[in-house]
Structure formats: structure tokens, C-alpha cells
Amino acid sequence: MPETQHSPAIEVEGLVKEYEYHHKEPGLRGSLRSLLRRETLHKRAVDNISFQIQPGEVVGFLGPNGAGKTTTLKVLCALLYPTSGSVSVLGHVPSRREASYLRSIALVMGQKNMLWWDIPAMETLLLHKEMYRIPEREFRTTVDELSEMLEVGHLLRVQVRKLSLGERMKMELLAALVHAPDVLFLDEPTIGLDVVSQARVREFLKGLNAQQGTTILLTSHYMDDIEALCPRVMLIDMGRIGYDGPLASLVERTSPHKLVSAVYAEPVPRDELLNAIGSLPVQPTDDPLKVSLAVPRDQVAEVASRLLRAGRIADLSIEEPPVEEVIREVFGKAAGERGVS
């Protein structure tokens, strides 16, 4: 890779983004009044955040609705000017909108279409080829590779409006990637897709990162995306970053328990079972031969061996709590501290 190898791909320092907007009262009277006396209001969507992302990292950007995720991505992609703070991506200041910068990044928004509806995706790709001045041979190779990875080769010449949601999303990804960007920003890339398409898109992104070393910053409300793709996560709430680190440590820190489950091959004598369970809280299960316990991390081995001794075991598993639950807990706590329910 170029000169970015030893410096971060993305560097954000004290970024603040405030939106300016005007309050408008409802109705004609309200419209007239706001014409005469417009009150300017400010919304601080991103409130002094700092982080660095190294080349080749895949980072998940998580937060509740309105947390400031899209705003941050838009600043990084030069769609919005920062109010203050400094941003550097691949050594460029995004807001300068240099052509060489725009050529080295891509943004895909699950909620927005970049492709033209009335023409086949191939036409848009050819437009990108001209826009980004991609040499013919490189263009063909990239399109072939990407369409094979995404399994959409046969759809390149079909009008975009005739594609299914999942097929269209894959085309959006393809179109965003024909110029082989080094950094890819994804804003909810799997929103609205069925589970199979979601999994395909995830696999594709994983492969892209592994094969091309593409740096990826992605937001998603689907924890499956985050678990599959992001060793590192940043949590943002009300414009501030509350956690930045490994997903695994977040799970450990937030939930001091692991879930230990035993499925027995035959009913276990009550006393044996009660003895194995001790005073640990039992989780509800729908299988009468299954016991599930939330066990403090330092007691996992001991409890597992007690469960093994209690009866004839068909299956024993030790799991982390679902990430979904962990995230809900983190944001639930934050909301609780603010006095929000």
C-alpha cells in the first residue's frame, strides 16, 4: 500500500458538527411568522469525538437512532463541513474535496439509491469508469471480479428498477467499488434485506477486506453484521463516543456472566440437579432436559464440571451473552443515567 501504511487511514480529532435549522410553527400563520422572525436553532449532532482507524481495519459504528453516526460518515466523505475539529482520511482533509481524495473513498448508504433506476447497472458502471478515468482493462477485471463475488453478473444489463432489494444493494456495492477505493464507508448496508442476502453482503465485505485490504467503517443496527465483521466497535450516543475497543472486551465488561447450558440425555434426579445449580439464577428454556445458567466468569469451569457430574450429558455449551443484549444494556444504562426511559 502507499504512504498510508504507517499512519492511520482515518484520524478524527475533536470533531464537532452542529446543524443549523429554523423552527417553524404549523399552519399558514406559522409560516408567515417564521418568515418575519426566523429563529435559528442549533443541533449538536456530533459532540467532540476523536478516534483513529488503521489501514485494513473493519470498525463498527454503533448507536441508537439520532446518535450522530450518519453525520460523522458524511463529514468523513466530504458531504458535510465539520463545525470544528480536524479530520484526515488517507492524508487528505475531506472538506477540501480533492479529486484524488474522492477517488480513494466510497460511501454506500442502505437507505439511498445511487444507481439510476431506469437504466441497467452496467450503464452506471460505465459512467463511473469515465468519471474516475478507470482504464478499460482494469475496469473489466474489477467488474468481473466483483460481480462474481456478488453473484450478479447476469443482472448487470437488467434495468435497476426490476431488481429485488437484495440484488439492488449488491449492485450499489458494485458501483461504489469499481474505482477500487481504499476506504469504504457503509451506512446500514444490509437494512431491509432478508437474512440470506444479509449474510451474502457480509461475506462479500469480509472477502473484500481480506483480499484488497479495504479499510471499512460501517454502521448497522443488525448485531449479526457487527459480530461477523467488526473486531472493533465504537459506541456513540448523543454525539459522544462512550466506548472504543474490541467487541469482545465490551461484551466482557458489560456482562460479567457467561451462559452455561447442559442438555441431558435423560431426566436428572432433582437433588443432583439442585446441587449442581447451587444459588445460580436459572434461565428459562423450552426443553425440559435442558438447564441454562448465567454463571460469573470465574466460576464457569467449576459449574460446568458440576453439571457434567449431575447426569448423563447429551450436550454442554458455554456462550457469551448475545451481543444484542449487551448493546441494549449499554444504551439502556446511558438512557437511564440521563433520566430517559
Ligand X SMILES: Nc1ncnc2c1ncn2[C@@H]1O[C@H](COP(=O)(O)OP(=O)(O)OP(=O)(O)O)[C@@H](O)[C@H]1O
Task: Using CB under 5 A, list all residues that contact Mg ion.
Answer: 69-70
CB atoms within 10 A of CB 309: 11
DSSP state of 266: S
- Residue in 249, 244, 237 with CA at minimum distance from that of residue 323: 249
DSSP state of 120: B
Place of cell 450436550: 315
Rounded-to-integer distance, Cα 167 and Cα 120, Å? 12
Q: Which residues pair with 92 in a beta bridge?
A: 89
Q: Which residues pair with 216 in a beta bridge?
A: 58, 184
Question: Which residue, 69 or 170, has its beta carbon nearer to Mg ion?
Answer: 69
**Piece in contact with ligand X (CB under 6 A), picked from 8-16, 59-67, 100-108, 295-303:** 59-67
According to the binding rule CB under 6 A, does residue 70 interact with ligand X?
yes
Among 14, 30, 66, 278, binds ligand X (CB under 6 A): 66
Question: Which residue, 167 or 225, has its beta carbon nearer to ligand X?
Answer: 225
Question: Smallest distance, Å, CB 51 to Mg ion?
Answer: 17
CB distance 129 to 193 below 8 Å: no
Question: Smallest distance, Å, CB 275 to ligand X?
Answer: 48
Residue 143: what are its φ and ψ, rounded to 5°?
Answer: -60, -40
Question: Smallest distance, Å, CB 132 to ligand X?
Answer: 27
Question: Smallest distance, Å, CB 229 to Mg ion?
Answer: 18
- Residue in 262, 257, 234 with CA at minimum distance from that of residue 246: 234
Work out what residue 65 binds among Mg ion, ligand X, none; the CB cut-off runs from 5 to 8 Å by kind.
ligand X
Question: Which residue, 39 or 144, has its beta carbon nearer to ligand X?
Answer: 39
Question: Which residue, 70 or 190, has its beta carbon nearer to Mg ion?
Answer: 70
Rounded-to-integer distance, Cα 9 and Cα 279, Å? 50
Rounded-to-integer distance, Cα 323 and Cα 327, Å? 6
Using left for φ > 0, alpha for ψ between -120 and 50, and beta otherwise, residue 51 falls in: beta
With CB under 6 A as the rule, give the number of residues binding ligand X: 12
Question: Which residue, 111 or 341, has its beta carbon nearer to ligand X?
Answer: 111
Question: Which residue, 89 or 236, has its beta carbon nearer to Mg ion?
Answer: 236
Binding mask 37-56 for ligand X (x = CB under 6 A): ------x-x-----------
According to the binding rule CB under 6 A, does residue 190 interact with ligand X?
no
Among 15, 49, 67, 262, binds ligand X (CB under 6 A): 67
User: What residue ranges bind ligand X (CB under 6 A)?
Assistant: 19, 21, 43, 45, 63, 65-71
